Amino acid sequence: MSSRPRLRALLRGLLPLVALLLATPAQAVDGNALLKQLDRNLEPESYEMYRKLINVEPDGSRKEYVLYTVKKGRDKMVALFLDPPSEKGRATLRLGDNMWLYIPNVGKPLRITSLQSVVGGVFNNADILALEYSVEYHVDQVEEDGNRYILSLKARTPAVAYDRLKMWVDKATVLPVTIEAYAASGLLIKTLHYKDIKDFGGIKRPSVLETDSPLYKGYTSVMLYAKIKARVFPDEVFTLDYLPRAGELR
Amino acid sequence: MPGRWLVFSTAVFLSASAAAAEEYRFDVEAFEKKPFEVNGYAELRAERFWLDRDTALYQLTFFDQEAHSALDRTTGALELSGLYRRGIATVQATGHAEAARDELGSEGETRLYEGYLTLEPATGTRVEAGKRVLRWGKGYAWNPVGFVERPKDPNDPELSREGFVTLGGSYTRSLDGALKTITFTPLLVPTSDHVNEDFGPGDHANPAGRLSMLAYDTDFDVLVLGAGARSARYGVDFARNLATNFEVHGEWARITDATKPVLSASGAVTTQTADTPSYLLGVRHLSERDTTTIIEYYYNGAGYTESEMRDYFTFVHAAYDQFVATGDSTSLERARNVQNAYVRPNPMRRYFYLRVSQKEPFDILYVTPALTVIANLDDRSYSAAPELAYTGVTNLDLRLRVFFLAGGRLTDFGEKQNNRRIELRARYYF
């Protein structure tokens, strides 16, 4: 047998494999790249924004809070309460996994834990100071269901508030639709629903985030977003010394 | 008929849509930054003190008054804070007015807690002048390194306090690497007959400073107060999260030439002077069930020993017996002359603090029960205070607390004038 037929036979054998290798990247979804794209679609890497947080109780009564938030890079963030007067001036700082809370009466920032509630209700500190999804989680698995991707996310470190997330992502917009947050025990802690896509001057994203929790039956928390703008602040803004003056940034 | 039904359905749909839009309305323009800002709170506090007539501090306080077994006190307070900003300048002020009334009479006072000017030419560079509250240290109940502040009440560590007139500034730099932030805060606390007269005697500049760092995910401070109206003192503190739900903090201070009056059982008063260390070690933990626990151990080197405290209480009891027998109050007056040192909160050496609070038990939102225990480890007396806080009404905080004080004869908490106290506080913010 000459070498030519042997080469042909080898090529014939390799062809399906080469075809498979070439086809795979085109068909499979890179979950982590998708998550990064989703983060960018939600907000710029460095920004300022306003949020209204509404706790709705079973009888329909509400408590409302207004926050001003600034973020820089992957893990620097400050959230300042503007309203109601009982919370005004309260500010939280996040640098990576380190978090501090400043209460005007206490007069100095104190270290706090990520799950600590800054105000009562379903939202905790980790929700208010949440970083980008791709910073806190990696994608374990990607499934497809019609016009949605379903991402299974695992926390990168134990410092992250929720151990696992199950995220439904709209294929066309690459924006989250529903997220289920689970504890390490597998217990469903809360479900987040992104709604009402609006144009924030270049960023088209949901303007409402509704949260309910089986731990707080009948209670709902709603986050409304406004004035999301790309803005880069000096690093010195994200320091304990500056925290009492966070209101001057606006 | 179908036409009417269509009109009705459309009307219902439109009104439902309008209601939904109304439901999630966010008028962000209402929160624009303004040059003027004013806010504050009004507070009403009702307290009942159950007095123990056999204790040294009851006898010292009430020996020349009608006997009481209980006191009912009502206190009203108003605190106003204002701010004006223009360019790089900000002027801030906080005033506090309080009036109280009980069976012994009524009293009231108005004080300027803060009033100062800040100039910030660049982010991270600041100059400040005026009356300012500075809070140094990482401790929750006590701060051995709080060199330039009025002592905090461990029963209410978050209460606002009056500041001192200072001239200072701060310079902050953020860095890449293990050392992430460094801030230097130099300070002068001038004293004279007219300025900061309660900081200490004499005309002094009283230089002080703090160097703060965030390195290896740990907060560190080095703090100094130079000699002047107070003796020189220096210290360090730190705070770090060992886990996301577990924080540890500590402070250490050395006070040079710390003085204290010591009254012997015979009534002789001497002044002791020594270099004394003070320190604090504490932890803060948050459980999965939202239970926050704060534990602190405090060693107060400048405090009284158990035998010094027993001598003082023994002297007061003897002086009171003498007064009852003869009407002569000379000895009681002598005890009163040094009571500021002996009667202040936590005047002894070794204390333990525990606070356990449970956020929203049984899923009842906005309700937080807590228990605070302050124990004197030298004489094993203690104060235990269960409380219930409710924040369900916007801008209104309600808090009910009961204090139980326990301890043997001649002990710190056993000789306080009251052995129980109940307090209901309503605070409305605006």
Q: Any CB–CB contact under 8 A between A95 and chain B?
A: yes
Q: Pick the range with the lowest mean pLDDT from A195-204, B126-135, B206-215, B405-414.
A: A195-204
DSSP 8-state code for residue B31? G
Q: Do B172 and A241 touch (CB under 8 A)?
A: yes
Q: Any CB–CB contact under 8 A between A110 and chain B?
A: yes
Residue-level pLDDT at B243: 86
Best mutation target, B174, B182, B248, to test chain A (most A CBs within 10 A) = B174
What are the residue ranges spanned by the domains of chain B? Answer: 33-429
The minimal CB distance from A237 to the residues B123, B138, B214 is found for B123
Q: Any CB–CB contact under 8 A between B372 and chain A?
A: no
Provide the percentage of residues in chain B whose pLDDT is more than 90: 84
Residue-level pLDDT at B364: 81
The C-alpha of B68 sits at a distance from chain A's nearest C-alpha, in angstroms, of 35
The C-alpha of B63 sits at a distance from chain A's nearest C-alpha, in angstroms, of 37
The minimal CB distance from B429 to the residues A54, A86, A245 is found for A86
Q: Any CB–CB contact under 8 A between B183 and chain A?
A: yes
Best mutation target, B123, B147, B291, B368, to test chain A (most A CBs within 10 A) = B123
Residue-level pLDDT at A158: 81
More confident residue, B185 or B365: B185
Q: Any CB–CB contact under 8 A between B42 and chain A?
A: no
Cβ within 8 Å of A, B 1-20: none
pLDDT category at A13 given cuts 50, 70, 90 is: low
CA A236/CA B173 separation, integer angstroms: 6
pLDDT category at B9 given cuts 50, 70, 90 is: very low
- Residue B123 tokens read as 């982010």
Tell me the helices (H) and strands (E) count for chain A, helix number first.
Answer: 4, 13
Q: Any CB–CB contact under 8 A between B293 and chain A?
A: no
Which residue on chain B is closest to A195 by alpha carbon?
B24
Residue-level pLDDT at A116: 62
Q: Do B170 and A241 touch (CB under 8 A)?
A: yes
The minimal CB distance from A88 to the residues B28, B39, B124 is found for B39
Q: Any CB–CB contact under 8 A between A97 and chain B?
A: yes
- Average pLDDT along chain B: 92
Residue-level pLDDT at A74: 86
The minimal CB distance from A224 to the residues B24, B123, B359 is found for B24
Q: Any CB–CB contact under 8 A between B244 and chain A?
A: yes
Q: Which residues contact A37 (CB under 8 A, 6 or more apart)?
A: A174
Residue-level pLDDT at B362: 84
Q: Are B378 and B350 in contact (CB under 8 A)?
A: yes
SS3 label, residue B308: helix
Over residues B177-202, the mean pLDDT reads 96
Q: Pick the range with the lowest mean pLDDT from A89-103, B273-287, B303-317.
A: A89-103
Cβ within 8 Å of A, B 219-238: 219
Q: Are B250 and B237 in contact (CB under 8 A)?
A: yes
Over residues B70-74, the mean pLDDT reads 97
Q: Do B286 and A250 touch (CB under 8 A)?
A: no
Q: Which residues in chain A are closer than 8 Å to B120, comparing Cβ atoms?
A: 245, 248
Q: Do B172 and A105 touch (CB under 8 A)?
A: no
pLDDT category at A218 given cuts 50, 70, 90 is: confident
Q: Do A219 and B365 touch (CB under 8 A)?
A: yes
- CATH code of B33-429, in short, is 2.40.160.100
Q: Do A120 and B185 touch (CB under 8 A)?
A: no
Q: Which residues in chain B are closer than 8 Å to A89, comparing Cβ atoms?
A: 39
> Could you tell me which residues are beta bridge partners of residue B198?
none
Q: Which residues in chain B are closer than 8 Å to A82, comparing Cβ atoms?
A: 31
- Nearest residue to B415 via CA among B333, B353, B339: B339
pLDDT category at B315 given cuts 50, 70, 90 is: very high
Q: Do A216 and B363 touch (CB under 8 A)?
A: yes
Cβ pairs bridging A and B (under 8 Å): 150
Q: Do A86 and B160 touch (CB under 8 A)?
A: no
Residue-level pLDDT at A7: 56
Neighbours of A175 (CB within 10 A): 17
Over residues A48-55, the mean pLDDT reads 93
The minimal CB distance from A226 to the residues B28, B123, B429 is found for B28
Q: Any CB–CB contact under 8 A between B39 and chain A?
A: yes
Q: Any CB–CB contact under 8 A between B180 and chain A?
A: yes
Q: Do B180 and A95 touch (CB under 8 A)?
A: yes
The C-alpha of A86 sits at a distance from chain B's nearest C-alpha, in angstroms, of 5
Provide the percentage of residues in chain A whose pLDDT is more than 90: 60
Residue-level pLDDT at A121: 59
Residue-level pLDDT at A107: 85
Residue-level pLDDT at B379: 97
| Residue B263 Cα distances to A232, B269, B359, angstroms | 62, 4, 46
pLDDT category at B2 given cuts 50, 70, 90 is: very low
Over residues A203-208, the mean pLDDT reads 94
Residue-level pLDDT at A215: 79
Q: Do A239 and B174 touch (CB under 8 A)?
A: yes
Over residues B374-396, the mean pLDDT reads 96
Question: What number is the ipTM of this complex?
Answer: 0.86
Q: Which residues contact B10 (CB under 8 A, 6 or more apart)?
A: none
Over residues A81-91, the mean pLDDT reads 93
The minimal CB distance from B174 to the residues A217, A224, A235 is found for A235
CA B270/CA B263 separation, integer angstroms: 7
Q: Any CB–CB contact under 8 A between B365 and chain A?
A: yes
Q: φ and ψ at A243, to 5 degrees?
A: -50, -45
Delineate the domains of chain A, giving CATH numbers in brackets. 31-249 (2.50.20.10)
Q: Any CB–CB contact under 8 A between A222 and chain B?
A: yes
Over residues A185-192, the mean pLDDT reads 93
The minimal CB distance from B174 to the residues A89, A159, A236 is found for A236
Q: H-type helices in B51-116, by residue range?
A: 56-62
Query: A229: buried, middle or exposed (CB in 10 Å: 19+, 13-18, 0-12)?
Result: middle
Q: Which residues contact A233 (CB under 8 A, 6 or more apart)?
A: A46, A48, A70, A72, A249, B123
- Average pLDDT along chain A: 86
Task: Reply yes or no on whether the pLDDT at B12 is more than 60.
Answer: no
Over residues B61-75, the mean pLDDT reads 93
Which residue on chain B is closest to A89 by alpha carbon?
B39
Q: Do A113 and B241 touch (CB under 8 A)?
A: yes
The minimal CB distance from A241 to the residues B135, B212, B286 is found for B212
Task: Reply yes or no on whether the pLDDT at A226 is more than 50.
Answer: yes
Residue-level pLDDT at B18: 43
Which residue on chain B is closest to A126 by alpha carbon?
B244
The minimal CB distance from A159 to the residues B32, B158, B244 is found for B244
> B75-96: per-residue pLDDT in tens?
999 999 999 999 999 999 999 9
pLDDT category at B290 given cuts 50, 70, 90 is: confident
Residue-level pLDDT at B13: 41
> B337-370: per-residue pLDDT in tens?
999 899 988 999 999 999 999 988 987 878 999 9
pLDDT category at B24 given cuts 50, 70, 90 is: confident
pLDDT category at A27 given cuts 50, 70, 90 is: low
pLDDT category at B416 given cuts 50, 70, 90 is: very high
| Residue B161 Cα distances to A95, B73, B138, B210, B228, angstroms | 29, 21, 17, 20, 23
SS3 label, residue B26: coil
Q: Pick the range with the lowest mean pLDDT from A166-170, A196-200, A211-215, B77-81.
A: A211-215
